[in-house]
Amino acid sequence: MCRTHELRLALLARNDGSATELREELAARGTVVVNLLSSPGSGKTALLEAELTRARERGLAVAALTADLATENDATRLARSGVPVKQVLTDGLCHLEASMLRGQLDGWLPDGTRLVFVENVGNLVCPASYDLGERLRVALMSVTEGEDKPLKYPTAFGLANLVVVTKADLAAAAEFDEAAFLLNVRRVNPGVEVLFTSARKGQGVGELLDRAVAVAEGAEPHRPVMADEPVQHTGCTDAHGDEHDDGQGHGHSRDHGHGHGHSHDHTHDRGDGHRHSHGRTNGREHGQETDPVAAPSRPRPNLAVGELS
Amino acid sequence: MHEMSVALALVDQVAEAARADGRERALAVHVQIGELAGVVGDALDFAFELAREGTPLEGARLVVETVPARARCRDCAGEFAVGAPPDLTCRGCGGTNVELLSGRELRITAVEWADGPAYAASAGQKG
């Protein structure tokens, strides 16, 4: 004997709620978060260092937060730009969550900061599902990673407001097929802008910063088709009433405030499901004890998943 | 492996519903996962087995319904399956002015409780 209750709870509602709250709070302070997603080794840190240096030259108040499973090497590199930088060690967790970012920014983010660049954990799978409260989400990949990467990681590229190609100076050596790549990007995220950059040669350096500044000044970022979420209501449709709607907020994962009332006419046959596999990130190596930049903190995600993820 | 975070969120939310409703034990949790949600059903299942221990969900089944991704073209009004790997260009007119109808779902749809009086009709959905 049992009873079924319909629930309609968005699984990531808590994170989405925290993200929305953080986005609003930061907006009130005049700050915009830029969330950078890429695979390890894509050249994200090198590009970011160049962008931060450029920002400093222009007298822009920017800051950066870099997340890694372990080591403070990236923060050390980014700190050379002279802007405030903080290392976050996730202790093996494969992604950042909005509440973790908030914990990191609290008491650290200097007043008047216009842009905060968040270098997410090097991983194109998990971070894609977590809204951090950013206004601009950027998916980066280098020309050495293959033209089909956007198809392999459709959530990361499909939800990006901007796509950045790095190491463009190696395109010829890597036999990078730019036309095929652009077609693949278009398939998962029609209309998204693609920037080609090379931190080493200086190509395109400053463009990412320009786009971020534009958003901070009120420009509306590109809205990906995939962000068109078909209703993810939180809250219940049954007698539970409001009790499950306790501030976990609205199922939208981005702040575009879309409220389409699509009917759910999808068929319920099991799709053959596309599966993007990814390795488990069980690493729990701790960073070294030296402290070259702001003391790294080890955030506890609100779900205490550090050991398990 | 963010499926563990997702599984913990799932267990958390169902346990909260149990508390609010005075339920002791869940027999099954039904979830919808869209093809484009970025969550792997098998990995979620594995994570769920660990996450449910010591909670009102201990021993509960996870019933995953995969929701196919579908889109509609705003230009020609055609509807199409996005497919895997996904392609959001309209199959009818080749346009890209499209909207996603389904495929990003990531939600709990129903919970079967052990101590309820009757099996409600909404249990009809299964994966």
Q: How many residues does chain A have?
A: 309
Using CB atoms, pick whichever of B36, B98, B110 lies closest to residue A158: B36
Q: Which tens digit of pLDDT belongs to each residue from A16-56?
A: 999 999 999 999 999 999 999 999 999 999 999 999 999 99
Six-digit token pair at B28?
A: 């099954």
Residue of B nearest to A149 (CA): B85
Q: Do B81 and A272 contact (CB within 8 A), yes or no?
A: no
Q: Do A269 and B126 contact (CB within 8 A), yes or no?
A: no
| pLDDT value at residue A17 | 93
The pTM assigned to this predicted structure is 0.77
> Is A189's CB within 8 Å of B37's CB?
no
| pLDDT value at residue A230 | 56
Using CB atoms, pick whichever of B71, B108, B117 lies closest to residue A11: B108
> Is A270's CB within 8 Å of B66's CB?
yes
> β-strands A3-10, B106-113: how paired?
antiparallel
Greater pLDDT, A281 or A115: A115
For residue A28, the distance in angstroms to the closest alpha carbon of chain B comes to 29
Using CB atoms, pick whichever of B2, B35, B37 lies closest to residue A126: B2
Cis peptide before A301 (omega within 30 of 0): no
CA distance A168 to B88: 26
**Percentage of chain A exceeding pLDDT 70:** 72
**In one letter, which amino acid is A32?**
V
Six-digit token pair at A168?
A: 């463009």
Greater pLDDT, A283 or A221: A221
Using CB atoms, pick whichever of B6, B40, B102 lies closest to residue A266: B102
**Percentage of chain A exceeding pLDDT 90:** 61
Q: Do A232 and A252 contact (CB within 8 A), yes or no?
A: yes
For residue A236, the distance in angstroms to the closest alpha carbon of chain B comes to 9
Residues of A in contact with B99 (CB under 8 A): 225, 228, 260
Alpha helices in chain A (DSSP H): 13-28, 44-57, 73-79, 98-105, 149-152, 154-158, 178-188, 207-216
CA distance B4 to B45: 9
Using CB atoms, pick whichever of A3, A13, A191 lies closest to residue B113: A3
> Is A280's CB within 8 Å of B102's CB?
no
E strand residue ranges, B11-104? 26-34, 61-67, 70-73, 79-81, 98-102
Residue of B nearest to A275 (CA): B40
Report how far apart, in Å, the C-alpha atoms of B87 and of each of A209, A224, A276, B83, B96 are: 30, 13, 15, 6, 10
For residue B62, the distance in angstroms to the closest alpha carbon of chain A comes to 14
Greater pLDDT, A145 or A302: A145
Picking from B17, B13, B32, the residue whose alpha carbon sits closest to that of residue A3 is B17
| pLDDT value at residue A2 | 58
Which of A3, A93, A243 is the best substitution to test chain B (most B C-beta atoms within 10 A)? A3
Interchain contact B67–A (C-beta under 8 A): yes
The ipTM (two decimal places) reads 0.81
Residues of B in contact with A93 (CB under 8 A): 5
Q: Inform me whether the pLDDT recorded for A66 exceeds 70.
A: yes
DSSP, residue by residue, A26-84: HHHTT-EEEEEE--TTSSHHHHHHHHHHHHHHTT--EEEEEEESS-SHHHHHHHTTSS-
Picking from A209, A283, A224, A230, the residue whose alpha carbon sits closest to that of residue A56 is A209
> Per-residue confidence at A189, pLDDT binned at 50, 70, 90?
very high
Q: How far apart are the first and last CA of chain B?
A: 22
| pLDDT value at residue B60 | 96
Q: DSSP character for B26?
A: E
CA distance A253 to B45: 23
Residue of B nearest to A228 (CA): B100
Picking from A241, A262, A305, A247, the residue whose alpha carbon sits closest to that of residue A20 is A247
Which residue has 């930061």 as its token pair?
Answer: A26
Q: Inform me whether the pLDDT recorded for A299 exceeds 60.
A: no
Q: Do B103 and B35 contact (CB within 8 A), yes or no?
A: yes
SS3 A185: helix
- Average pLDDT for A125-151: 95
Neighbours of A300 (CB within 10 A): 14
pLDDT tens by residue, chain B, 127 residues: 688 989 999 999 999 999 998 899 999 999 999 999 989 888 999 999 999 999 999 999 999 999 999 999 999 999 999 998 899 999 999 999 999 999 999 999 999 998 654 344 344 443 3
For residue A221, the distance in angstroms to the closest alpha carbon of chain B comes to 17
| pLDDT value at residue A94 | 86
Q: Whole-number mean pLDDT of chain A?
A: 79
Lowest mean pLDDT among A7-16, A154-163, A172-181: A7-16
| A-proximal residues of B, 87-126, CB under 8 Å | 87-89, 96-120, 122-123, 125
Q: Do A16 and A250 contact (CB within 8 A), yes or no?
A: yes
Picking from A163, A167, A162, the residue whose alpha carbon sits closest to that of residue A197 is A167
